[in-house]
Structure 1
Amino acid sequence: MKVPLPRFGRRAGAALLAGIAMLAVDRAAFAQDASKPAATAAAAPVKDERALALLKGMSDTLASARTLSFKVRGIVPTPAPNGQYVSLFASSRVVMQRPDKLFVEARGDLFPSDSFYDGKSVTVIGADRRFYSQREANGGAIETLMQAVQPGSDATAPFFDLLVADPYAFLTKDFTSAFWVGQSTVGGVKTEHLAFTAPGLDWEIWIGAADKLPRLMVVSYRSSERQPTFTVEFSEWKLNATVPAKTFSAAIPPGATKLEFKQMGPPK
């Protein structure tokens, strides 16, 4: 992630597959205790119009771009079999062409893969090129893909929330508090630091003061006793650059084994 990452906790089917996401986090592992009282008190409601205006500016910048490309990296708290959270490193390169083309090169400690959506089908190829998954997606915009490919899934990646037609409406649907923290510098870029809350979540975003592009997000889940937090950094943004058509076309490796798409859910 509603707000940038909060949307994670509630939107079913926001990922293509376990391997498509740079942060393919199993939200259900974090949210399975959501019915229990939060371990800490929720933030007092604040509606800071400056924060909302800055978020709207970011949304308009992203929504107006015909093509987007950027890189993402972060540390993902992931539940181990013994219940302990371990930190995994993940990174991705994301390329999108509106309304219905998407490529994600995911690397790091999670599931290294290349994922392609060409408006008709979704293909995920393992980085080792030994395995792949493919299925029809019935066409449609990125939002349609998010809803249809993984119905009932609780896995997602933060950047999906930024690729919809109207990120602001998508992200602020259920926010309970928003305020401007101040200005900061992230990766040498002067940014506006904003903080939001949504049910069960506290989250922050740093937006470039000049280019209005997201640079950093921090999300803390308040619905779990351990309250895991993860951090996502965005870089190398390019808007409206020419993208070769082959970027979104998958070539199945010779001899690769086909795997079925599977829904993701909470650990058994």
Structure 2
Amino acid sequence: MTRTLRTISHRFGLALLAVSALLGDGRVALAQDSKSPPVAAPAKDFKDERALAMLRRMSDTLGGAKTLSFKVRGIVPTHAPTGQYVSLFASSRVVMQRPDKLFVEARGDLFPSDTFYDGKTVTVIGVDNKFYTQRDAAGGAIEALMQSVQPGSDATAPFLDLLVADPYAFLTKDFSSAFWVGQSTIGGVKTDHLAFTAPGLDWEIWIGAADKLPRLMVVSYRTGERQPTFTVEFSEWKLNASVPAKTFNATIPKGAVKLEFKQIGQGK
């Protein structure tokens, strides 16, 4: 997530942090000596071990799964011709099989497409525009693949950072603060709300208290030309379920035009 969180340092969040403020509903209830006045640690240096432990448990849950499938939906701020930001809706269905198979069905307002990776070839098919792009990627693990397949993935595919073998290490690289905000109910699921900061961004994540799975993420960029804030909600998680092999095999639509595959960072 330094790529999507910086990309949290590749990705995710919102840290507020007046740690000294004890909210009436107990949402920032940090342990302290009742006989001493509250002492606020500087936001940039505050690292709540409770929050880090919760993030680690989520990471272990995701990293230990042989297969993962889930749905995401989000609101992505996008520049309009007037210079203002308008909110576009994005949704995806994701299926992954470790170590090297991935399918992403992207829909909504942003580039409807299907992405297939079968361990040998990555194929992206534009659903509406009847074109596709394809390249060899034999032996490439998903961690390497995700660096080049999804243009603009910081906003449209933040879930990619959760698919690596160790999401915790990826998400906490270069982080500067972490704290447990409290508990919330998201989509009927009781969650723990965590907040983090990293260079140039703040990010928040809501993790299921029982199942240790991510349910919501909010990322706010503070520098650069990226979208100011975007929100992604996760649902319909399935771990270690059987996945048909054909899920990762691309079928090129008849008459589809092949385009050149360009990696992120390549010139036009």
If the length of structure 2 is used for normalisation, what is the TM-score?
Answer: 0.81
Preserved contact between residue 180 and residue 194 of structure 2 (Cα < 8 Å): yes
- In the superposition, relative to structure 1, how do residues 7 and 62 fare at CA in structure 2: closer, same or farther (>3 Å)? farther
Match status 1:68 vs 2:30 = no
User: Residue 139 of structure 1 corresponds to which residue in structure 2?
Assistant: 139
Once the two structures are TM-superposed, the CA of residue 130 in structure 1 deviates from its matched residue by 1.3
Match status 1:113 vs 2:142 = no
Instruction: Determine what percentage of the aligned residue pairs are the same residue.
Output: 80
Match status 1:245 vs 2:216 = no
> What is the root-mean-square deviation of aligned Cα atoms in Å?
2.5
Paired residues for 1:86-101 under 5 Å: 86-101=86-101
1:57 is paired with a residue whose SS is helix
2:217 is paired with a residue whose SS is strand
Query: Rg: which structure is higher?
Result: 2
Q: Deviations over 1:61-100 (max 9, x none)?
A: 0000000000000000112344321111000000000000
- In the superposition, relative to structure 1, how do residues 252 and 229 fare at CA in structure 2: closer, same or farther (>3 Å)? same
Q: Deviations over 1:36-65 (max 9, x none)?
A: xxxxxx944211000000000000000000
Letter of the aligned partner of 1:201 in structure 2? Answer: L
Q: Deviations over 1:187-213 (max 9, x none)?
A: 000000000000010110000000000
Preserved contact between residue 9 and residue 173 of structure 2 (Cα < 8 Å): no
Structure 2: tracts of 5 or more residues without a match: 12-41
Partners of 2:262 and 2:109 in 1: how far apart? 20
Q: Deviations over 1:128-180 (max 9, x none)?
A: 36111111113221012123557xx6544211100001111111111000000
2:7 is paired with a residue whose SS is helix
Letter of the aligned partner of 1:185 in structure 2? Answer: T
Q: Deviations over 1:86-126 (max 9, x none)?
A: 11100000000000000000000000011100111110111
Once the two structures are TM-superposed, the CA of residue 262 in structure 1 deviates from its matched residue by 2.9
Letter of the aligned partner of 2:195 in structure 1? Answer: A
1:171 is paired with a residue whose SS is helix
Partners of 2:103 and 2:226 in 1: how far apart? 34
Preserved contact between residue 74 and residue 232 of structure 2 (Cα < 8 Å): yes
Preserved contact between residue 196 and residue 204 of structure 1 (Cα < 8 Å): yes
User: Residue 29 of structure 2 corresponds to which residue in structure 1?
Assistant: none
